[in-house]
Amino acid sequence: MKLKVCGLRDNVDEVEGVDPDFMGFIFYPKSPRFVGEDYLMPKGIRAKKVGVFVNQSIEEVMSLKQKYQLDYLQLHGDESVDYCVELKAVDSKIIKVFAGNKPLNQEVLDSYAEFIDFYLFDTKLDKHGGNGVAFDWTTIDQLRLKKPYILSGGIGLENVGEVSRSVNKPFAIDVNSKFEISPGLKDLEKLKELKTAIQ
């Protein structure tokens, strides 16, 4: 199972030493983990770089993708299938977020499948992620997913074992608020424990 660490900003180099597979940077200005207007991203990051966006214009997303050489675009808002089609047409890799704490519609999930690379299931509240709240992960076992998925929402050291035992096992887990000292500053010791636990 792969590891995605999201909401990075203040100790990126140190987190990279934990060897996550994906590193998420939030470009949504209303997030407490927003990287800022002129963020200086460390060079030579080995992990896949994921830019997180919420209902932002295609032009803004593409500009930031190019500026930071993002490997994936994570869409955490109400972005439509057509929005994904437009990004996919310019060779973008897409992670589309769905609210796992609300009823998941198989037809809706299927409509996105051709135009995304991963589903991501999170607990979606008003502040769009990073809230540390879990949902009933077993609901995903009832789905017939056409693409692999990433699981987020309240994953911590105390419950990561439940993820490993799920029937429809995720491609990766995505952690954020339960592994930080303050918004944007990650707890390296906890991340090391997590990395060991999922290997």
pLDDT digits (tens, 9 = 90+) for 9-21: 999 999 999 999 9
Integer Cα distance of 167 and 189 in angstroms: 29
At 196 the pLDDT is: 93
At 126 the pLDDT is: 64
- pLDDT tens digits, 147-163: 999 999 889 999 998 88
At 167 the pLDDT is: 61
Burial 178-197 (b: 16+ CB within 10 A, else e): bbbeebbbbbeebbeebeee
CA 68 to centroid of chain Cα atoms: 17
152 is in which domain, residue-wise? Answer: 2-198
Question: Which two tokens mark 125?
Answer: 């509240």
At 127 the pLDDT is: 59
The alpha carbon dihedral of 94, 89, 78, 142 has a sign of: negative
At 165 the pLDDT is: 73
Residues of the chain with pLDDT under 50: none
At 138 the pLDDT is: 84
- Number of domains within the chain: 1
At 168 the pLDDT is: 79
Task: Give me the CATH number covering residue 72.
Answer: 3.20.20.70
Pairing of strands 72-75, 48-53: parallel
